[in-house]
Amino acid sequence: MDQEAADDELDLAVVLGAQAHLDIRRALLAVRQGRVRKRTGGSRPGRRPNRPRDFDLGARAIMRDYFGADGEPPVYGEDAFEERFRMPRPVFNRLFRAIHDQPGWRRTVNATGRPQAHAIQKVSAALRVLGYGEPFDRSDEYVRLSRSSIDVYTRRLTHFIIDKWESTYLRRPTAEELEHIMRRNAARGLPGCIGSIDCTHWTWARCAKALAGQYKDRNGKVSVVIETVCDEDLYIWHLFVGCPGAYNDKNVLAASPLMLDINDGVWPPRTYQYTLNGRSRRLLYYAADAGYPRYAIFALPHAKPDTPKWLV
Amino acid sequence: MSLPRLINTAKAVAILHNMAIEQNRHGFISQMRRDAAAALRGAEICSPRRGDRPSEAFNKDDGPRCDVVLGGPVTASAGDQVHDGDDDQGPLVGTGRYMRMAEKEAKDVHGHLSLLEDLAEHVWADRGRLLSPYVRLPRSFSTVLS
């Protein structure tokens, strides 16, 4: 027992010593490079006081407009809700229920005793940025949050969504789902098809200058390429983001984890058999456009459709 | 905005998009049309509908489902034995030789052309039924097409 206690104390001493060593090194480095961090936040002489934004006003406005307040129905109906938030109300409710009590999102009281922003304001502001792609200070007048706060909450919201739902909503189909996808595609005349693959360019508005040449696409805009695989409902089963805009579909495919799995034989599964034109096959395929290579894993449009059969 | 933040934003938006699709997919026009065409033919409706069991409509729970994801080592189907690689009956699943064969099979140009040929024949032979959810043709024209 004494030995264990001594070991624990020794471990603690080692950790504290290492931490102190790191702190000293960091302080020396900061002094040497003249990078003494500027003090931010808090009350100090010369600092502009916080704007009296009246957080309650923002929360009340959102509640009145989209959820109803004081027994009155909401000002905007379901269509407007879905248009503004870019999602159906049940999805918003699910997101809000999951996030509203998380640290950093729940309503707090500051040192002066004033209540801070409500979670509905933070979520609404972040969703406006994601939904409309608007600047962080655009919705300040409505949700009553500062630009820096909206920036922070947008980043937090993306992290929260990824942490909580990536393993559920951004993954490969399970065996049951794959069978369902194939059954529906077979009903559409594409037996053995497990989805459609394509790339799109997403403009990168504030790209670093050093990367601008690499990320410039064929239209001269700086962008990143997004590769997706989706089913007929546009449910996204695979997402690969980040390739420079100068890449075409083939380059992106070569860098994609999807192609790595195809090369390794771990995807698509070879456990399904389907019949096409009386011939039994096992290699499932994706529907793709003409930008993709002529591999057996892709069904592309015919290069020169000169007969009605090829046109159909 | 940095590239990692751009990637995270795209992922989060895709997840929200999938949640919205999961909520709304029973009401998509394409599915209504196909279901109507299937009902006319008396065929089985394979689109998810409101009130379907979760597994049928792709509704998901909150827990991670990665444990059941397809794409691990390929298992053998009936009549296809996995061998130890000593004979000529096929490579062991997961070996380098298997990977080379899988890559070769996936990137085969002849396989691609054969697939296109078979798909064209398949669709052409059944074009009347396949087009019916999307175009409303006179009965006489449908008869001629089919």
Question: Which tokens go with A111?
Answer: 């040192």
Tell whether B101 is covered by a domain: no
Q: Give the model confidence (pLDDT) of B27-45 as tens digits.
A: 666 666 666 666 665 655 5
Q: Judge: B34–A188 Cβ closer than 8 Å, yes or no.
A: yes
How far apart, in whole angstroms, are the C-alpha atoms of residue B73 and residue B93? Answer: 7
Contact present, A300 and A294 (Cβ < 8 Å): yes
Range among A20-34, A91-105, A262-276 with highest mean pLDDT value: A91-105
Q: Considering chain B, what percentage of its residues have pLDDT values greater than 90?
A: 23
Sheet holding A298-299, edge to edge: A236-244, A223-230, A193-203, A285-287, A298-299
ipTM higher than 0.85? no
Q: Please report which confidence band the pLDDT of residue A14 belongs to, taking 50, 70 and 90 as the band edges.
A: confident
Mean pLDDT confidence for A198-224: 91
- Higher-confidence residue of B69 and B1: namely B1
Q: What is the amino acid identity at position A156?
A: R
The total domain count for chain B is 2
Q: Where are the alpha helices (DSSP H) in A86-206?
A: 89-99, 119-132, 140-143, 147-169, 175-187
Q: Where are the alpha helices (DSSP H) in chain B?
A: 3-24, 29-41, 54-57, 96-106, 109-125, 127-131, 139-145
Question: If you search the block for the tokens 């936040």, which residue do you land on?
Answer: A41
B71 near A CB under 8 A: yes
CB-based contact, B58 to chain A, within 8 Å? yes
Hey, how many other C-beta atoms are within 10 angstroms of the C-beta on B88? 7
Which pair of tokens denotes residue A197? 């693959």
Say if the Cβ atoms of B63 and A168 lie within 8 Å.
yes
Burial of A92 (0-12, 13-18, 19+ CB in 10 A): buried
Disruptive mutation site among B2, B7, B19 for chain A (greatest number of A CBs within 10 Å): B19
Residue A29 has pLDDT above 90, yes or no: no
- The residues, any chain, with a CB within 8 Å of residue A30's CB and separated by 6 or more, are A36, A37
Query: Using CA atoms, how far apart are residues A63 and A143, in angstroms rounded to an integer?
Result: 11
A203-212, B104-113, B137-146: lowest mean pLDDT where?
A: B137-146
The amino acid occupying position B142 is S
**Per-residue model confidence (pLDDT) at position B35:** 66
Q: Which domain holds residue B42?
A: 1-63
Answer whether A168 sits within 8 Å of B124, measured CB to CB. no
Q: Quick count: other Cβ atoms within 10 Å of Cβ A244?
A: 21
Q: Are A284 and A182 in contact (CB under 8 A)?
A: yes
Last residue of a domain, one of B31, B48, B63: B63
Q: Is the pLDDT of residue A108 over 60?
A: yes
What is the CA A54 to chain-centroid distance, rounded?
A: 31
| Residue numbers of A between 16 and 35 with CB closer than 8 Å to B | none
In this complex, how many residue pairs, one in chain A and one in chain B, have their CB atoms less than 8 Å apart?
229
**Are B99 and A265 inside 8 Å of each other by CB?**
yes
What residue of B is the nearest CA neighbor of A168? B64
In this structure, are B55 and B113 located in the same domain? no
pLDDT at B41: 59
How far is A279 from B116, CA to CA, in rounded Å? 13
Q: pLDDT tens for residues B10-22?
A: 999 999 999 999 8
CB contact under 8 A, A265 and B103: yes
B70 part of a folded domain: no
pLDDT in the model for residue B74 = 40
Upstream peptide bond of B54 is cis (omega within 30 degrees of 0): no
Residues of A in contact with B20 (CB under 8 A): 86-88, 91
Query: Which residue among B6, B66, B68 places its CB closest to the CB of A204?
Result: B6
Q: How far apart are CA A241 and CA A226, in angstroms?
A: 5
